[in-house]
A and B are shown apart, each in its own frame.
Chain A
Amino acid sequence: MSDGNEWSQAWLETQRQYWDGLFDWSKNLYRAAPGAGDPKAAQNTLEDWWKNVSAVLPTESRDIYKRVFESGRSFFDAGEMFWNMVRDAQSAGENWRESLEQSLEGFKSMLEEQAGQATDAWSGFAGGWGFGGDAWQDFTRSLGQSPVHAEDITGFNAGEAWNRMLGTPALGYTREWQEKVQRWVVLSSEHAKASQEYAALLNATNRKAVDLLGRRIVDLAQKGESPDTLRGMYDLWVDCGEEAYGELAEDDDYLAAQGGLMNTLMRLKQHEHDMMQDVFAVMNIPGRRELDTALRRLQETRRELRDLKDLIEDTEVTHLSEAVAALRAELGGLRNGAGTATAAPRPAAKRTPARKTAAKKAAPRKAAPKRAAATRKTTAKKKAAAKKS
């Protein structure tokens, strides 16, 4: 059997070989004239490397390293974009501003193209910047399986989706089912429209962010300043994105669009639950509706039971029990003091903690407020009960 450490070394060496591809690419760029080198080749090297690496990373580290890797990809994309921008601007000499504007227009087109190819509005927005745009997908996935996923709905094609649903075997009364399918199509369409409206606002923000970046670069240049590292440029880019998005995030149209996105998705989801419920009913299987009823009743019963227990604990019943325990203890003490061999009554002997409590409560400083508090609570509870009834 091989030594684990040896294997680890061999594995790391394999990863280094992948990196040679990236370094070769960079060497070519150094040597060649502007425009040489294939960034896609380097990107593919990164992807291959990640595929190998992700399979063997410890589970706890994998997700986080994936995010770090994705940020590396984003940094790579930023590098490529700014590399082109800087190269063109330097070639343009005194006309560097025009060149910059052209580069930024190209960047806007690229972002729009990427957004158009995305499976949902959010990943089209954040993903276009090379950032992790999977948070929305994580959420929609957490809602469980649907006949059609929310991400499919964004690129909704009525004909295909309609045909897909018509292919579903009819159950129960066909007519009613068909009506539900039609309703589903309407709700899907509404969600698709809401997604498009939401995406349109996000895409407009992308354009705004790029304009802002251009203005910032020019403003800095007028002051004789400029980011002198890629990281500095990347940070400026992030600042512009946050600023543009920050304005959008508080805008009334955005609030309405965001609400619309979520509300249409939930209407669709709820309708899907109803459809599934019908299927379950035909098979005599209890569904979400029955489960909710049972859980609600159970919760109400537990609440009533707990309230009753609290009432008993907090009211005179407890004080009476404690008083009886104290009297028993006192009686036992008197009997013992009188020289009788009679043991303390059994129940009292078992209630040692209660006796301790009783002894503590016998101190007038603490006992008085406790009773007063209990009385207030009882009154409040009674009022609450009267209100409920």
Chain B
Amino acid sequence: MLGLRPDEIIQEVVGYHQKLADGLRTVSELGEIDVGVTPKEEVHREDKLVLYRYKAMVEKPAAVPLLVVYALVNRPYMTDLQEDRSMIKGLLEQGIDVYLIDWGYPDGADRFLELDDYVNRYIHHCVKHICHAHGLDKINVLGICQGGTMSTCYTALHPEKVANLVTMVTPIDFQTPGNLLAKWARDLDVDLLVDAVGNIPGELLNFTFLSMKPFRLTGQKYADVVNMMDDARALKNFMRMEKWIFDSPDQAGEMFRQFIKWFYQENRLVKDELEIGGSPVRLENITMPVLNIYATADHLVPPDGSIALGQKVGSADYTEYPFKGGHIGIYVSGRAQREVPPAIAAWLKERL
């Protein structure tokens, strides 16, 4: 028999909406939703790309800096969302000298940017800039999600420029059984899509990600918000996340075509069939130390798709770090703040 009583249901609905109404004051007084809080300075710019260097938090940071390469999907401020949820800050506190690539917002003029431009031009120029600034031949690279895939390709193509490679929630094998995005890409005519619309609207990516778990992500999640309506701080944290989720840059058309076709549909990287700019991308060329961090409950990049890196790299010094959490929690959860930056820093320091 059902344990619910009709009068209790009414009471709960009314209570819910009362909280919604009472929370209006909190919402109206929240002010600007600020993100990207750690001080940084622009050190290099190319087209819409900006390379930032974060202000050191220790007197003598590590001699070899770390370049963070984020995905083209969504904005890199996820790594520095707020004071107490910042992977960047965590790394700085551990004495790492951190640089970060901000890809900007591609527009129609960027329609013909290719994977070659992103890997061999943009990332390469940032690495060269940092090498030159520090008088080094090679630096450390940390790639996140799609940025991890690009960093892995870059490292395979330019191993002489990377001292240590760190990958976070990075897809390598795109066709593992749990990869829903790869399944959805299967019957998509990506040539037709790019030819028809040019750059891929961020709204399509939003729709794709929301429709992976539509009821949780478009309904249930917001039903939870009423319980934080009287807590301005919690509400603002939620708003920051929301801002990030829906801050989806358009994707340069050719880059998107190549990424979907070569990685999701043909899985070329893990099959040793990928070429970028006419050069073969071979994971066995990655002989430097590798730290592969993946999230055990990642619904976007299934763990086995990330772990595949270990079987393919030529490095004798390969470490895996499973993080108990999801694709987003790995940047912003409390446990991530406590565990991930110290783990990265400790691993890097052992390899100086």
Contact = CB atoms under 8 A, between A and B. Distances in A.
Contacts of A67: 218, 222, 242
Interface in A140-160: 141-143
A299 B183 contact: no
A270 B4 CA distance: 54
A101 B321 CA distance: 49
Contact of A226 (B1, B16, B21, B28): B1
B9 A79 contact: yes
B204 interface: yes
B187 A96 contact: no
A22 B14 contact: yes
Interface in A259-307: 259-260, 262-263, 266-267, 269-270, 273, 288, 291-292, 295-296, 298-300, 303, 306
B131 to A, nearest CB: 9
A262 B211 CA distance: 14
B137 A135 contact: no
B192 A267 contact: yes
Contacts of A372: 160
A249 B212 contact: yes
Main secondary structure of the interface of A (DSSP, over half): helix
B17 A72 contact: yes
B21 to A, nearest CB: 5
Interface in B112-155: 112-113, 116-117, 121, 124, 128, 132, 135, 137
A321 interface: no
Interface in A1-37: 8, 12, 15-16, 19, 22-23, 26, 29-30, 34
B319 interface: no
Main secondary structure of the interface of B (DSSP, over half): helix
B6 A87 contact: yes
Contacts of B183: 249-250, 255
Interface residues of B, number: 85
A221 interface: yes
A86 B218 contact: no
Nearest to A97: B1
A229 interface: yes
A58 B204 contact: no
Given A131-B218, A227-B3, A296-B112, A16 B195 contact: no
B2 A86 contact: yes
Contacts of B238: 64
Given A86-B2, A135-B206, A61 B239 contact: yes
Contacts, number: 259
Contacts of B37: none
Contacts of A258: 184, 187
B246 to A, nearest CB: 7
Contacts of A74: 219, 223
A303 B121 contact: yes
A231 B207 CA distance: 26
Interface stretch (A162-170, A233-241, A326-334): A233-241
B4 A230 contact: yes
B55 interface: no
A57 B186 contact: no
B219 A130 contact: yes
Given A269-B197, A295-B112, A89 B207 contact: no
B27 A65 contact: yes
Interface residues of A, number: 113
Interface in B283-298: none
Nearest to B128: A313
A258 B277 CA distance: 32
Given A79-B12, A242-B216, A263-B189, A90 B2 contact: yes
A90 B6 contact: yes
B83 to A, nearest CB: 19
Interface string A115-146: 00000001001100111110110110111000
A226 B4 contact: yes
Contacts of A96: 1-2
A348 B89 CA distance: 42
B352 interface: no
A333 to B, nearest CB: 21
Given A71-B219, A131-B215, A233 B196 contact: no
A195 to B, nearest CB: 15
B189 A266 contact: yes
A107 interface: no
A310 B132 CA distance: 14
Nearest to B160: A373
Interface in A59-103: 60-61, 63-65, 67-72, 74-76, 79, 82-83, 85-87, 89-90, 96, 100
B4 A71 contact: no
Interface string B213-247: 11110111111011000000000001100110010
Contacts of B219: 71, 74, 126, 129-132, 238
A135 B186 contact: no
A179 interface: no
Contacts of B201: 139, 142-143
B1 A231 contact: no
Given A221-B2, A250-B183, A122 B211 contact: yes
Nearest to A363: B135
A40 interface: no
A83 B211 CA distance: 29
Contact of B187 (A60, A64, A260): A260
21 contacts: A22-B17, A49-B21, A57-B27, A60-B243, A65-B27, A75-B13, A86-B4, A122-B207, A126-B215, A135-B203, A141-B203, A230-B9, A238-B219, A249-B180, A255-B184, A259-B189, A263-B187, A266-B196, A273-B196, A360-B135, A384-B277
Please list the 9 inter-chain residue pairs (A to B) with the smallest Cβ-Cβ separation, ordered nearest first: A259-B187, A71-B222, A226-B3, A131-B219, A384-B278, A142-B201, A79-B13, A299-B112, A373-B160
Interface of B: 1-14, 16-18, 20-21, 24-25, 27-28, 30-33, 108-109, 111-113, 116-117, 121, 124, 128, 132, 135, 137, 158, 160-161, 180, 183-184, 186-189, 192-193, 195-198, 201-204, 206-207, 210-216, 218-223, 225-226, 238-239, 242-243, 246, 277-279
